[in-house]
Amino acid sequence: MKFLKLFLVFVILGIQFSFKIQAQNKELDPKTTLQKLSTTYYLINNFYVDTADLEKLTEEAIITVLKELDPHSAYISKKDVEKANEPLVGSFEGIGVTFQIFQDTILVISPVPGGPSDKVGIMAGDKIVKINGEDAFGKKVNNEYVAEHLRGKKGTKVTLGIKRGKNDELIDFDVVRDKIPLNSIDAAFMVDKNVGYIKLDRFAKTSNTEFEESLAKLKSQKMKSLILDLRGNTGGYLNIAAELSNQFLKKDMTIVFTEGDKSPKQIFNTDKNGKFTDGKLVILIDEGSASASEIVSGAVQDWDRGVLIGRRSFGKGLVQRPFNLPDGSQIRLTTARYYTPTGRCIQRSYDKGSEDYFKEMTKRMDHGEFYHADSIQFPDSLKYSTLTSGRTVYGGGGIMPDIFMPVDTTFATKLYTDLIRKGIFNRFTVDYVMENRELLSNEFNNFENFNNNFIITDSTIEDFKKLAEEEGVEWNDEQYLRSEKMIKLQLKALIARNEWDMEKYYQVVMKEDKVVNKAIEILNDSNQYRKILKR
C-alpha cells in the first residue's frame, strides 16, 4: 500500500511535470524519462528478488542525478533542511552555548553573550555531564545528541548538571531555552587610529544589518579606511551579497548579473548611495572565499572601488535555487551563472566531474599557486578591463586579487598540526582560564591591558607540553622552536576569547597576520593605494 501511494505520486507528478517541461522543451518524451522512471520503481517493487528500500533508492537516485549535473546542485533530506538553512537564517532556539565534544564530554567553549546560559551563570570551561538528570557523557555523545537534547522550543526548560573546574560536586542550572542569534560578523574593531577591520563569516539574512551596525561603530571611532575580511567566507544569499556591495558603491552601478538557459538575465544594480562610498577599502580573499564573497570582491574590483589582497578565490559562480519536494526534503538546483559587472564568469570548469572539481585546492597547492603568484596563468581570452581605470582583470576560475600574498608556512610543523588536530589548544586554554580567572581579572582588568602586557611564560608552555604528551602528541623541541611564535600567539588569543569574546581572539592574532598588516600598510599610504587602482 505504501509503495502504491508512492507509485501514484510518481505517476501524478510525472504527468504534471511532463506538461510543464514540454511547454519549455518540446523534445522531451515522457516515455523515455518520467514514465520510464516510475515503471522501473513498479518493477523493482513487484518483481525484485528481495524487498527493496524504495525511499532510500529514491534519495540515492536523486543524489546521483544531481551530481551528474554540476558540483553544487544538491539534495537535502527532510531532517537536514532546517539544519542546512540555519547558518543563513541567522538564529536557532536553544540554550545558547558554543561547545566542543572532548573525550566524550560536552565542553562549553563560551556562552552566547546575553543568552539563556549566560544569564544563569554558565561559564567557559564548564562541562555538561547531566541533562535533565540523565548522564550526558560517553560514546553516545555526538553533535546530533547535543542538538537533540540542548536545542528546543523557546520557553521550554532544561536542567543541566555542570562540572566546574576541579570541584567534584555538580552544579545544577535550570536554563529556559530562547531564540539564539547566529551573528555572521565575528569581529569589528579599529586596528589603528585610521583603519577599521570587519570579519564577515558568511552572507546570512542579518549580515547587511550587522554590517551597518559595525560600520556605524567604527565610524564613531573616527575610521577613515576599512579592511573587509572575506577569507574563508564560503558565501550565502546572493541578494545579501548585492546589498553589502551596495555599501561601497554609488547609485545606479551594476553589482552582478545572473543568467541561465531557463533563467532570463537578471541585473542587480545599486539603488542608492552606500554608507561607505568614499573611504579607502581593502578586501581580503583566499581560496576559501566563494560565491557571495566573489560577488562583492568582483564588483569592488571591476569598479576600481578598492584593493583586493590575498590569493585567488574559490571560483563558484553558480546560483542555486531551493525547490521543496513533497515529503519536505529539498533540492537546491543550479539555475543560473552569475557574472561580475565587466561580464566575467567566475565559475571554474567542472567538465571532468564533481570529484575532480573538489580536488582543485590540492591541485593548486601541488602546482605552487599558494606560494607563487606567477604559477597562475590566465589566457588572453579571459582578459577584461575594469570599468573606471581600465586595469586588466581575469575571469574563468575565481577572483585574482590585486596583490598576491602567499600562504605563511614559517610556523607549519607536524607538531603544530597535531596540537590543532587533537584539540590541545582549546582544551588547555579553557582549563587555563577556569584556573586563573581571578588572576586574569586582578592583573589584567581589561582586554587592552591583557593584549599589551600578557605573555605566555615558559612554565605555561611546560604545562601545555605535559597535556599534549598526555594526549598522545609527540613533542619535538626543534619543531617547537619553529612554531613557537604561533603556538604562543594561539594560546594567548584563545585565552582572550575564553575570557572575553571571539572579537578579542582576532585582535590578538592580528599582530602576526601578514595579510592584514599588508592591508594596513597600503591603506596608510595614499600614493601606493592610488597606484594600484591607477587613479
Return all residues near 484 (Cβ < 8 A) that are at least 6 apart.
none
Question: Average pLDDT in the 450-454 region?
Answer: 95
The letter for the amino acid at 492 is K
Going by pLDDT thresholds of 50, 70 and 90, the confidence category of residue 35 is: confident
**Amino acid 90: pLDDT:** 66
Query: Does residue 519 or residue 166 have the better pLDDT?
Result: 519
Share of the chain above pLDDT 90, in %: 67
Helix crossing, 414-421 with 424-443: angle to 10°?
A: 80
Instruction: Give me the pLDDT at residue 25, please.
Output: 54
**Residue 270, C-beta contacts closer than 8 angstroms, at least 6 positions apart:** 245, 246, 249, 250, 251, 252, 253, 255
Percent of the chain's residues with pLDDT above 70 = 95
**Residue 507 predicted with pLDDT over 90:** yes
Question: Confidence class of residue 473 from pLDDT cuts 50, 70 and 90?
Answer: very high
pLDDT confidence of 3, banded at 50, 70, 90?
very low
pLDDT tens, 286-339? 999 999 999 999 999 999 999 999 999 999 999 999 999 999 999 999 999 999
Q: Residue 11: pLDDT band by 50, 70, 90 thresholds?
A: very low
Helix (H) or strand (E) holding 533: helix 526-533
Give yes or no for residue 5 having a pLDDT over 60.
no
Q: Which residues are catalytic?
A: 291, 302, 316
Rounded Cα–Cα distance for residues 495 and 508 (Å)? 10
For residue 286 the three cell numbers come to 583566499
Most confident among 35-39, 296-300, 346-350, 379-383 (mean pLDDT): 296-300
Contact 244/211 with Cβ under 8 angstroms? yes
- pLDDT interval class at 354 (50, 70, 90): confident
Q: What DSSP designation does 534 have?
A: T
Task: State the burial class of residue 73 (Cβ atoms within 10 Å of its Cβ: 0-12, 13-18, 19+).
Answer: buried
User: pLDDT digits over 218-247, tens only?
Assistant: 999 999 999 999 999 999 999 999 999 999
Q: Name the percent of the chain in helix, strand, coil, to the closest 5.
A: 45, 20, 35
Q: For 52-104, what is each residue's pLDDT tens digit?
A: 999 999 999 999 999 999 999 999 998 888 778 777 776 788 999 988 887 78
Q: 366-375: per-residue pLDDT in tens?
A: 888 889 877 7
| pLDDT band for position 437 (cuts 50, 70, 90) | confident
pLDDT at 464: 97
DSSP state of 272: S
The pLDDT confidence band at residue 10, using thresholds 50, 70 and 90, is: very low
- Output the average pLDDT for the chain: 90
What 8-state DSSP symbol labels residue 251? Answer: T
Distance from C-alpha of 175 to C-alpha of 116, rounded to nearest angstrom? 6
Mean pLDDT confidence for 369-395: 87
The confidence score (pLDDT) of residue 26 equals 53
Q: Which of 393, 196, 199 is nearest to 298 (CA)?
A: 393
Query: Of 183, 275, 285, 280, which is closest to residue 231 (Cα–Cα)?
Result: 285
- Which tens digits make up the pLDDT trace of 172-181? 999 999 988 8
